Structures are given as structure tokens and as C-alpha cells.
Structure 1
Amino acid sequence: MKNKTHTVQLSKWMFVSSVFFLGITGCTTSVSPNYYTLAPRVLPMQDAKLRVIEVLPVNLPDRLNRVAIMVNTEQGKSTILNNDRWTSSLAVELHDSLSSGLQQQLNAVDRYSSGISSTNTVYRIAVDFSRFDIIQSSSPQQGTQVEVEVSWVIKPLEPIQINKQAVHRIVNCRMTFNQTVANKDMIPDMVNASKQALYRITSSISDTVLSVEKGSYQVNTAVCS
């Protein structure tokens, strides 16, 4: 009888231990995060003329500079999506994507990352984001938008010249716009809208460099001075 009682008690202990172990295992199991990038697709360069640019690290408010994607409401509530993340901090994502996009559009090489020297004019580009916010509206008609407020400075660095004359001047530009999130208003849609917004910025900065190169200093999509 004693052995039977001992066996029953041992069985109960093993059952309780198993349930406890499963409970602990269930508590510690985490969902694998989803990772997204703003990097554009890079195509082979065709033009023989190679420009040199220098894209400096971007300025971004501390509240935005995180790895987790952040979604805001019109009322100011912010939701940090820890399971939906950029592949690096947002500031690095923006910088690297701008650099890649500008190299592609301008047929250029970024000497900030490559360290190459140049005997041609180098276009130093400083970009400052005041806003790059994903905003969910309470109105179904308006939907979710990426709200952007950005400015940039193009500073041509002239090579050493015999006559010591600078060909170009520094240009300051800024633009503000909203990029609508299309389709299902899901995280991939928000990422795609962010890419579209960044492409618009990259194209405007590219147009600024081309304008500076021609000496016109006029960009249709931005206000420049």
C-alpha cells in the first residue's frame, strides 16, 4: 500500500511539474519580428559622366530615431511596434537609402562612405528631417498618411583652381508633403508609402544638384534659396 501511495504521489508531482514547465515555456516563447528596409533597388549605371557626392548623416528627432516602427494618431498617441522593425535605426535607414538613391539618379559615387578623392566638384549634401511620421487618421476618408517635413543644404566643394574662382554657391531647400498609405493600411503598406515619400525627397535633392550644376538654383518640387 505504501508503494502504491508513493507511486500516485510521484505521478502527481510529475504531472504538476510538466504543466509548470509548459507554462514557463509558453511564457518565454516570443514572436519573431518582421524587418523592413527603405533601401531602393539599385540598377547598373549607364552614363559615362560620374559625379561625386558626399551625403552626411541625416538629422532626425530623437522620438523618431528608433528601430521599431512607430505609428501615431492625430491626437498625439504613439504606438511602438516592437514586432515590426526597420533593419537599422530610422536615421541610418534614411541616410543609406538617400545615398543609394542619389548615387543611382545622379550617376554618382558617395565619397562619405567610399573615402575616394576627387578632382571634380563634390556636392556635399546635409539633410534635416523635422518630420517623417506615420499618422493614422480617425477619418476613413483621409486614411493613414506619412507626413514629411524635410530640408537640405547643397554645398559644392570646388577643387583647387588656378584662378581661385568658385563656380557654385550653397543652396538651401525645403519641402513639406503628405504621402497617402494605399490599399489595406497594413504595415507593408505603410512601409511602401514611406519608400514613396523618400523617393520624392531623393528626386528633389537630385534635381537640386542638377540645378546647382547648371547655375539655375530652381527646383519645382521644393522651395530653395
Structure 2
Amino acid sequence: MPNHKNNSLKSLAAAALAAALLAACGSSPPAQFYTLSAPASASTNGAIPAQGPQTFIEVMPVAVPDRLARPQLVVRSDATRVDVLEQERWSSPFNSELRDALAAGVASRLGAIDISRSGRPADQVSYRIAVELRDLDAVRGGQVQASFGWTVTRSDDRRSAVCRMTVVEPVAGGAVGDVVLAMQKAVSGAADAIANNVKALQAGQGAKCAG
């Protein structure tokens, strides 16, 4: 009898623990997913690329700080601490999300084709774009500050443009969506500058860095 009683108590405890775990899982909010790619109309600012020979770009994988190389959003909470938001995530790992957003932004501004995954057509000039995100600080209700560095290189004569740029965008409110919108604007600013570098190389001019 004592063994039977002990077994019953263990079964009840296990059932209670399982119920508690299920309740905890059920109370967790669902993950929210975000993208860095701005809508097409916003990324081009209504501009229509000039007609001419087709432009091909190749945007390489983007290097990002280790603390950002994750699917979760990372925001700064004070001067010494950052928060990794487990339930607020990018639609793909952050470095991939950033590469895709920059590639789409530059391509839309130039009316270009991104050949990063398909390869350059024979006898066609392309522009290889290598980008590094040097730093990114995002503060809810504050601002997003992003520092970029990049090189744009022509495939035919190897002429290149090398630039650095820091973009600061205000965050409209305390919601995560407000932070994402500010980050989209920062990426859009970098795409503007990179597209201008490509245009300069197309015209045989030197790079003009935005600062």
C-alpha cells in the first residue's frame, strides 16, 4: 500500500507540473516578425530610373556586429545594456535581412537587376557592392544610429568607390514597430548613397560620399 500511495503522489505531482508547463507555454505571446525592406513606393521616393543600358548589381553578404547576427531584434536600454527581444524577430537572420533590403533598395533606385544569386551575363558590366554595418544602436522613443561602410567595384575596369556613412533617424514612439520604421529609413539612406556611387562610376566620375 505505501508504494501504491507514493506512486499516486508522484503521478499527481507529474500531472501538476505538466499542467503548469502547458499553462506557461499557452500564456507566452506569439512571436512578431518584421522586415527591413521598405515598401517599393517608399524606397524609390517616387523617382523613375532613367532609361538606358541595363544595370547589373551584385550585393555581397553584409558583415554585421556579432551582437546583431541573430533573428531577434536588439535594442539599447541604457548606456551599458542591450535587450534581445525574444518575441520580436526579423523575417530572416539580421545580416540576410539587411543584405536583401539594401539590394532591393539599390536595385529599385537604379532600375537594376540583382545578380547576386544568378551570376552576371557574359560581356555585361556589373557593380559589386560589399557592405559592412559597423555599428547600430536602436533606442525605443529615442533614435536609430547606423554606421555603414561599403565598396562599389566595376567588373570591367575595376574602378571602385569606397565610402563611409552614419545615418541617424528619430524613433517616433516606444513601440517596436516605431524602431523598425526608423531602421528602414536608415537602410534607405544607405541605399540612396550606394546607388549614387554606382551612378557616378557609370558616368566615369569619382565617388562622392555622403559623410
Q: Do the two structures share a fold, i.e. TM-score over 0.5?
A: yes
Change (3 A) 1:179 1:118: farther
Query: What does residue 24 of structure 2 align with?
Result: 27
Change (3 A) 1:218 1:171: closer
Deviations 1:76-123 (A, max 9, x none): 201110010101111000001111111111111111122242422210
Could you say what the CA RMSD is over the residues aligned between the two structures, in angstroms? 2.6
Deviations 1:44-92 (A, max 9, x none): x874532011110011111111111011134120111001010111100
Q: Any residues of structure 2 matched to 1:5-154 within 5 Å, and which?
A: 22-29=19-26, 30-42=28-40, 47=51, 49-136=53-140, 143-154=141-152
Q: Is the 8 A contact 1:154 1:209 kept in 2?
A: yes
Determine whether 1:174 maps to 2:143: no
Give the aligned length.
Answer: 195
Cα distance in structure 2, aligned partners of 1:108 and 1:89: 25
How far has the Cα of 1:16 moved from its partner? 8.9
In structure 2, give the amino acid aligned to 1:59: A
Cα distance in structure 1, aligned partners of 2:60 and 2:147: 18
Query: What does residue 185 of structure 2 align with?
Result: 196
Query: What does residue 163 of structure 1 align with?
Result: none
Cα distance in structure 2, aligned partners of 1:172 and 1:26: 54
Cα distance in structure 2, aligned partners of 1:17 and 1:154: 61
In structure 1, give the amino acid aligned to 2:20: G
Cα distance in structure 1, aligned partners of 2:62 and 2:126: 18
TM-score (norm 1): 0.77
Q: Is the 8 A contact 2:169 2:185 kept in 1?
A: yes
SS at match of 2:168: strand
Change (3 A) 1:60 1:20: closer
How many percent identity over aligned positions? 28
Unaligned ranges ≥5, structure 2 = 1-11, 42-47
Cα distance in structure 1, aligned partners of 2:18 and 2:56: 60
How far has the Cα of 1:205 moved from its partner? 0.2
SS at match of 1:101: helix
Deviations 1:165-223 (A, max 9, x none): x3x621100111311111x221000000000000000000000100111122243x524
Cα distance in structure 1, aligned partners of 2:102 and 2:176: 21
In structure 2, give the amino acid aligned to 1:176: T
Unaligned ranges ≥5, structure 1 = 1-14, 137-142, 159-165
In structure 2, give the amino acid aligned to 1:25: L
Point out the structure with max Rg over C-alpha: 1
TM-score (norm 2): 0.82
How far has the Cα of 1:17 moved from its partner? 8.9
2:194 to 185, 205, 223: 205
Q: Is the 8 A contact 1:49 1:107 kept in 2?
A: no
